DNA sequence: ACGGATTGTATGCTTCACTAACGAATAGGC
DNA sequence: GCCTATTCGTTAGTGAAGCATACAATCCGT
């Protein structure tokens, strides 16, 4: 009998976290390749998309939904603001908060990005049946929720 | 009827890549928290582990298996070598290559890291049944293979 | 009105991925 | 064997991103 046969954590390939990291790396790499033309990162597209779904969202809420701390959120919003894709506006209900909105350029950039996302997602999902995609998404959501 | 009901890619939460990124972020965060004491990153542990499984591995092969380019592999090997956890040695079969080995300190660090991995993996896997873990690993492998 | 909590901001440090270039060594075609 | 192309390690530079800390303004509960 071999030792450590019960838990199956004696080899690197048995580590779930390792596979998540590799899968993320592969997706990240294909993403940046797909988006090299329009020069947007995963984070930046996520921010644009989320602001599009929730105009006037506060930065802290943006960070919470994308699981970034305030400092990280700042740098991303700064970059997108410098590129003219979104704008800050002091919230009227709570003057501590900065409400974030897409500019017209931001809307256009997001539209362009979404068409790239379609291609990117097709590349990713071609490995799975629609049912498998549902299962995978549900499992991943268990991890990050 | 709503538009875009067919493909289900009209909302950010429908994007598979988005969930992979969030899940990776959550795992990464818990990992660094678990490993704050012994001060090793995911990448560094992966390298130590892989070298342990394949002593004398060339750097380029190390990078290939962990999906890093040569430059990135360099910086990580440099750090680990500077900390005395592994050592380089010119390969005899191919003098272009640098064979990488664990030092005794590297073996000890990996042992310590593996016990942390057990706790980390337990945190991660507590969301799933053993069968679900197998399914998830298999699906993630489809992405990064 | 006071004190604690929240939010944005600024600064600095670290990890990591990528590119481009270079030299050394190897492999393949002839 | 020789010339060329490729591979490997290395270095340097760029950029995104995460985290910690500190500070000021604002809000809220009491």
Please tell me which of the candidates A11, A27, A132 has its beta carbon nearest to residue B17: A27
Q: Is the pLDDT of residue B1 over 80?
A: no
Task: Supply the pTM of this predicted model.
Answer: 0.90
Query: Rounded to whole angstroms, how far apart are CA atoms B46 and A82?
Result: 37
Query: Rounded to whole angstroms, how far apart are CA atoms A94 and A72?
Result: 22
- pLDDT, position B42: 93
- pLDDT, position A10: 79
Mean pLDDT taken over chain B: 92
Handedness of CA A37, A42, A43, A47 (dihedral sign): positive
- Contacting residues of A for B18, CB less than 8 Å apart: 46
At residue A15, the 3 state secondary structure works out as coil
By the 10 Å C-beta count (0-12 exposed, 13-18 middle, 19+ buried), B9 is classed as middle
Q: What angle do CA A64, A69, A72 make, to 5 degrees?
A: 120
A7: confidence class by pLDDT, cuts 50, 70, 90: low
Say how far B5 CA is from D25 C1', in Å: 45
- For B7-19, the pLDDT digits (tens) are 567 799 999 999 9
- Contacting residues of B for A132, CB less than 8 Å apart: 139
**Residue closest to C23, CA→C1'?**
B96
- Contacting residues of B for A125, CB less than 8 Å apart: 16
Residue A89 contacts strand D, CB under 7 A: no
Tokens standing for B111? 């042992």
Q: Which nucleotides of strand C come closer than 7 angstroms to any CB of the protein?
A: 6-12, 15-20, 23-27
Architecture of domain A15-144: Orthogonal Bundle (1.10)
- For A13-54, the pLDDT digits (tens) are 999 999 999 999 999 999 999 998 899 999 999 999 999 999
Contact A127/A69 with Cβ under 8 angstroms? no
A121: confidence class by pLDDT, cuts 50, 70, 90: very high
Lowest mean pLDDT among B2-6, B14-18, B20-24, B106-110: B2-6
**Residue closest to C11, CA→C1'?**
A71
- For B28-45, the pLDDT digits (tens) are 999 999 998 899 999 999
- pLDDT, position B145: 85
Which residues contact residue B77 at a Cβ distance below 8 angstroms, ignoring those fewer than 6 apart? Answer: B47, B59, B62, B86, B88, B100
Residue A69 contacts strand D, CB under 7 A: yes
Q: Is the pLDDT of residue A3 over 70?
A: no
Residue for token pair 């440099």: B78
Q: Convert A56-70 to b/e letters by CB count within 10 Å (16 or more is b).
A: ebbbebbbebbebee
- pLDDT, position A8: 61
Contact A64/A73 with Cβ under 8 angstroms? no
């Amino acid at each position: 009998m071999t030792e450590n046969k019960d838990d199956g954590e004696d080899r690197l390939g048995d580590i779930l976290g390792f596979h998540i990291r590799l899968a993320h790396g592969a997706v990240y790499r294909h993403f940046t390749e797909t988006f090299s033309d329009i020069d947007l990162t995963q984070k930046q597209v996520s921010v644009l998309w989320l602001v599009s779904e929730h105009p006037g969202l506060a930065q802290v809420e943006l960070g919470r939904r994308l699981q970034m701390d305030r400092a990280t959120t700042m740098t991303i919003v700064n970059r997108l603001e410098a590129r003219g894709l979104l704008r800050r506006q002091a919230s009227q209900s709570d003057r501590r908060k900065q409400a974030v909105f897409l500019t017209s350029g931001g809307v256009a950039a997001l539209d362009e990005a979404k068409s790239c996302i379609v291609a990117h997602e097709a590349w990713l999902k071609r490995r799975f049946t629609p049912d498998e995609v549902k299962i995978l998404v549900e499992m991943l959501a268990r991890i990050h929720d």
